[in-house]
Amino acid sequence: MSKCYKNSKSRISPRHLSHKYPSLYIRLRRLLLSLIMAANDSGETTSKKEAFDAEACSLLVRKLKETFASGKTRSYVWRVSQLEALAKIFDDNQPQIVDALRDDLAKPPLETVVYEVAMLRNSCKVALKELKHWMTPEKVKTSMTTFPSSAEIVSEPFGVVLIISAWNYPFLLSLDPVIGAIAAGNAVVLKPSEIAPATSSLLAKLLGDYMDNSSIRVVEGAVDETSTLLQQKWDKIFYTGNGRVGRVVMAAAAKHLTPVVLELGGKCPVVVDSNINLKVAARRIIAGKWGCNNGQACISPDHIITTKEYAPKLVDTLKTELEKFYGKNPLESKDLSRIVNSNHFNRLSKLLDDDKVSGKIVYGGEKDESKLRISPTILLDVPQDSLIMSEEIFGPLLPILTVDKLEESIDVINSGSKPLAAYIFTTNKKLKEQFVRTVSAGGLVVNDTTLHLAVHTLPFGGVGESGVGSYHGKFSFDAFSHKKAVLYRSFIGDASVRYPPYTNTKLRLLKALIGGSLLGIIRALFGFS
């Protein structure tokens, strides 16, 4: 063995390269993958990979529709087998998942294991435990109008559904909807985000290896492939991402009157009162902002609203706790994800360089473009008409807006688009009740941030521009199920009152029956109006 292989110090490991030069590492990795694919495609026994064009897409959908029409996916046994296969993916491949997310986002292993793998495991566990109950028709009451009768609501799968996922939590946001679609008995096409290529590739491999490929398929690619998929007629489309693409998805779905779930985002506010445990509040804000993929999460706090008087104390506490968590040089911290790519890095840099906010930075603001890193950054007294307040930040920048009285914060929130989540830290019962009653958002959390995402008995979704529809737990099953109304009647009790010839007596009686009034029925029978 040569000396260059014996001396490990003379070599640069892939892991070292991925940490120190992420942009270069990603480009080299993609080049290597393309060379491997080219080499495979050039072999005599391996046919060249066909382009995913409209014809290939149409064929894929047709085959999945044939599978669904066979009734295979409707059975309880099939649904359980596929949910168990998904759970096995998480159990068998956690190291590969951690590596893929490190490649795509430099995501800390703890964040991957807890916020993606563990949450998916729990989603599978809940679905497997509750599936039989969810599938059981729901008995409902009937009225005198249909007496004698019985009724129930039957949950049936939509058919073949398309799931388009996002890059920031690429495993969780891909497979959590898939769990709901499978539990409801649908055939599925998953389109992962091309912005997280390592995860997209791993998802395609794992679902190809573990799942029933006659019913569940992965399509990789970028804009062209997504556009091709959207040209097809689906039975439901589930999209996670931004509002701009959400509008494209909704427009494509409208051509076929296809129902949609849109999981979008928005500017999630945090209201901070002065009568609180400030240290705990600061830590929870930090965990929700920078501890969630360095702010690259749809439910991360987007900005803080507090009083002018309390803002300096809040800033000082945030600074102290941030230094405890990420050290004096957070750009070198291994506990912070990097910015996903140069486009998003430049977008965030533009927000910071805006003349209206460049002088408002009170903490952080350091950038390293070669490593795609931006340190946790706090900005104080940011104008509401600044660029950073005009769009969802989706990064490690946290503006603080100040008001004279905290009650004004509710007006500030309600003057903008409805956010995906809104948070408040207070011990004031009246303010808390007012916040819950008057702030419209996808979800609210009092005295914490982001944790509602982990409660499977709560629906997760947006309202207005932050989204359409919801999922998680039973709500995922419902999102991919049509609620079919079924009324049962016998041949007994057939009344002539509904049949011609129509008379005034029949009119009075039918009005009383539909109104559900026993006294009205008696009055009608005796000829009283």
DSSP string of 380-446, one letter each residue: ES--TTSGGGTS---SSEEEEEEESSTTHHHHHHHTSPPPSEEEEE---HHHHHHHHHH---SEEEE
Contact present, 289 and 398 (Cβ < 8 Å): yes
pLDDT in tens, 94-137: 999 999 999 999 999 999 999 999 999 999 999 999 999 999 99
The Cα–Cα gap between 231 and 68 comes to 20
Per-residue CA distances from 83 to 32, 121, 208, 210 (Å): 33, 10, 14, 10
* pTM of full prediction above 0.75: yes
What order of strands is seen across the sheet that includes strand 138-140?
A: 138-140, 149-157, 481-489
Catalytic residue chosen out of the listed positions 111, 225, 263, 321: 263
Output the pLDDT for position 509.
Answer: 82
Tell me which of 200-209, 435-444, 513-522 is least confident.
513-522
Percent of the chain with pLDDT over 90: 81
What DSSP element (H or E) covers 280?
helix 278-289
The Cα–Cα gap between 486 and 500 comes to 26
Catalytic residue chosen out of the listed positions 298, 321, 392, 465: 298
- How many Cα atoms sit within 13 Å of 424 on the Cβ side? 25
Maximum Cα–Cα distance across the chain? 109
Structure tokens at 218: 């992965």
Percent of the chain with pLDDT over 70: 89
Bridge partners, 305 (sequence order) = 271, 401
Rounded average pLDDT over 235-264: 97
Q: Strands, DSSP E only, in 117-186? A: 138-140, 149-157, 160-164
The Cα–Cα gap between 457 and 471 comes to 10
Centre a 10 Å sphere on the Cβ of residue 391 and count the other Cβ atoms it contains.
15
Output the pLDDT for position 513.
Answer: 79
Rounded average pLDDT over 441-462: 97
Centre a 10 Å sphere on the Cβ of residue 328 and count the other Cβ atoms it contains.
7
Output the pLDDT for position 42.
Answer: 40
Output the pLDDT for position 510.
Answer: 81
298 an active-site residue?
yes
Q: How confident is the model at residue 454 (pLDDT cuts 50, 70, 90)?
A: very high
Structure tokens at 437: 């009653």
pLDDT in tens, 216-225: 999 999 999 9
66 an active-site residue?
no
